[in-house]
Structure 1
Amino acid sequence: MSRTDEVVDGIKRMILDGELGPGDRLPVEKDLAEALGVSRGSLREGVRALSILGIVDTRQGDGTYVTSLDPGRLLSPMGFVVDLQGDGSALPFHHVRRILETEAAGLAATRITPEALAEARAVLDQVDDILREPTVDHERFIESDIAFHRIIAAHTGNPVLAALVESLASRTVRERLWRGLHEEGAEERTHGEHEAIWRALAAGDAERARLRMANHLLGVEESLPRVPDDLPDDDA
């Protein structure tokens, strides 16, 4: 185990043992390095690694603090992993997304609030306006698509599930934009599928919500293998 790994493991152990909790300030550098049996240089490297992982936050002139340890923050690096995959590798990630979001829709159907339903309805109404324009604004459409799915994930009652959905769902923008630009009627179909999902949520019908979400994401999934490998970066 490298010295940096020892720092990461040591601070993690302090958190797990209750010596440090969310929002707590880490001991000063000299004391913490001595407690972990490492040099200050190794300590700094370990702290930087923990910062990238969202576990600690270094504030200039104030010290280093344990973050809220919120699942959304801790799981956000997964989105970076997805970003590094080429278009040809997108399908396995979408398989996972479909499984997670199908269950998310079922959970949300019994837990979503009237306020969240109204928010989702407003998003869909905005899409109606977008689709009525002479030239569809594809980027606005995709932003609304992401917002709709985010509302559902946020009301599953499971913050870990919501964080996983966020990491996967918001990283398929490139593929969905290609569909909108190159597949006739793709955005209208997507909007209709969203409407069906919303009606199931509004009815509190968990099984129908799962079915509608699975049907919607299967359609997206079937389009992914056709995304060309040489899609220009400025279309992303």
Structure 2
Amino acid sequence: MPGSDRRSVVRALGALAVLPMLPAPLAAKARARPAFPSAALVLERTLDRYLADNALIRVTRSWSCTFRALGAGAVVDASQISAKVEAPPSLAGFARMEEARDASAIFPLQLDRSGLIVGWDEETGPDISAAVARAMDVIEAAVANPGERQEARSFISSIGNAASGIVSQVPRDLFFPATGQSVETQPVALAGGLQGSFEVAIAASADPQTGLLRQSERRVTTRIGDSRRETREAWRIVPAS
């Protein structure tokens, strides 16, 4: 691979760090009415993002959550109780700011009688084009050569077309997930004849008695030639201490 092509691929892969995780729904199953918890729980989210030089940024947050009845469903109230960021020394400033940020704005969340988050519209959810636009801002600033920039633009656009127009940071079935595993792979063709793929894999487990989340994981893997980038998001619930 020519040096300029390799550099543009690395930059394009690095730009994926700004893209939110994409949903890859498991096969639909009949949902039993869940048993909403009566005691406080701790919800933990870990996000791993690999940068262009394979350096890892890991952000782990946890929230104390309580469930209160609302009609046939429930409302989840929560407050952040911890945040930890692992990052390269060059990103120490970012790590400090991220650890100081309170990411509790997503709460409260309303759940319907089957445990799904209310207001999460599978058909008209947030469009990935907004995430692509943010990625392109990074590309425009980082790739000075117009030819390389066009290649990177084609790559990011291909991802947008492959994502079915939906982006979600919080899975609709976060607290009471459909269990099992699923993998979806989308081939990606780049300028200059480069070939690659964009893969989303998810796996989830739940308490067999209550249906409550044990752990879920979504993994986004991008491959271009011999280059590979991965983003991983994991949620789990543990009893409050």
User: Normalising by the residue count of structure 1, what TM-score does the alignment of the two structures yield?
Assistant: 0.23
Q: Kindly indicate which of the two structures has a greater share of residues assigned to strand.
A: 2
Q: Kindly indicate which of the two structures has a greater share of residues assigned to helix.
A: 1
Determine which structure has greater relative contact order: mean sequence separation of CA pairs < 8 Å that are 6+ residues apart, divided by chain length. 2
